[in-house]
Amino acid sequence: MTLQTRLAVDIGGTFTDLVLALPERTVSAKLLTTPESPDAAVIEGTQAILREAGIRADQLDLVIHGTTLATNALIERKGARTALITTRGFRDSLEIAYEHRFEQYDLYMERPTPLVERDLRLEVAERLAADGSVLLELDEAGLERLIPLIRRHGIEALAVSFLHSYVNPVHEERASAFLARALPDVPVTISSEVCREIREYERTSTTVANAYVLPLMDRYLARMQDGLRALGASCPLLLMMSSGGICTVETARRFPVRLVESGPAGGAILARHVAARGGYDRAVSFDMGGTTAKITLLDDFTPQQSRHFEIARAYRFSKGSGFPVRIPVIDMVEIGAGGGSIARVDLLRR
């Protein structure tokens, strides 16, 4: 079945853009993003664009949504207060990161600050072997002792990443179930669901990033869905993922880290379309918003793909100066400098 009436919505850090595709024409609108409640601009813009087009919300066949809210929250450090629970003896893996220095001879080099401060990186006794066999059972009594500390610090999201859990998730699943009972209002992200892959640091970093943006993304997607329904829309709402594919709202609310390049991925897909129409098999796509700027290379009319992405590279954009997430993603360089950014001179006077 052909979808005749489609509404596309992109929320950026500065502007919210809407495009309504009708069989015979398109209608567009641009509003200032409402940071405290991003869905408010979406609903206001939807009402305005439907009025201009002269149609009702129940005539929409599809709403598709891209956003930079997740990546902006990570770059600007405006996510939830997050705690990490990990295998005893490994809480500093998130800060140790890689062994190599991304600027070997720079005495002033600083590594990226972890999203979770050391006092909130908590340990529990448990251990799996590399083949997934249990060497030490999960200490649920130790987990219970962490509950008062989590409450005292006002933790809004929890990340759980145990050693070798990509092979056997049993301890993470038990920990998640225990924490859900003890702290029903605190969402729990486990690494074996978000990033079931080898490499402890990248897996933990991805899990923490998911937990860090989950409350923000969950609230706004729920409000957006409810707001569209209140207008009378009953069509599917789909989200653009970092890979250039789409997912349901339910998946996006559970795994918001998959949306870190949601809006920019849409821009790269459009660049591919424009390049193909113009016959340019190799091209560079540049997308500047109010908060960030993104550059993508197209080769043979196709954006480069990757399963490793670094967020918030800050040290002259050197590899390793940001923090990694392992998700399917259109490969791009992203910097925290957009139309609303204020420039400064670094130690090298650049």
Consecutive 10-residue averages of pLDDT for the chain (350 residues) = 83 90 93 89 95 95 93 89 98 87 76 92 98 97 97 98 98 98 98 95 97 96 96 96 94 96 90 93 89 86 89 70 89 77 76
Angle between helices 38-53 and 200-231 (to 10 degrees): 40
pLDDT score, position 1: 46
pLDDT score, position 338: 78
pLDDT score, position 110: 77
pTM as predicted:
0.90
Q: Which domains does the chain have, with CATH numbers?
A: 6-74+216-259 (3.30.420.40), 82-209 (no CATH), 262-335 (no CATH)
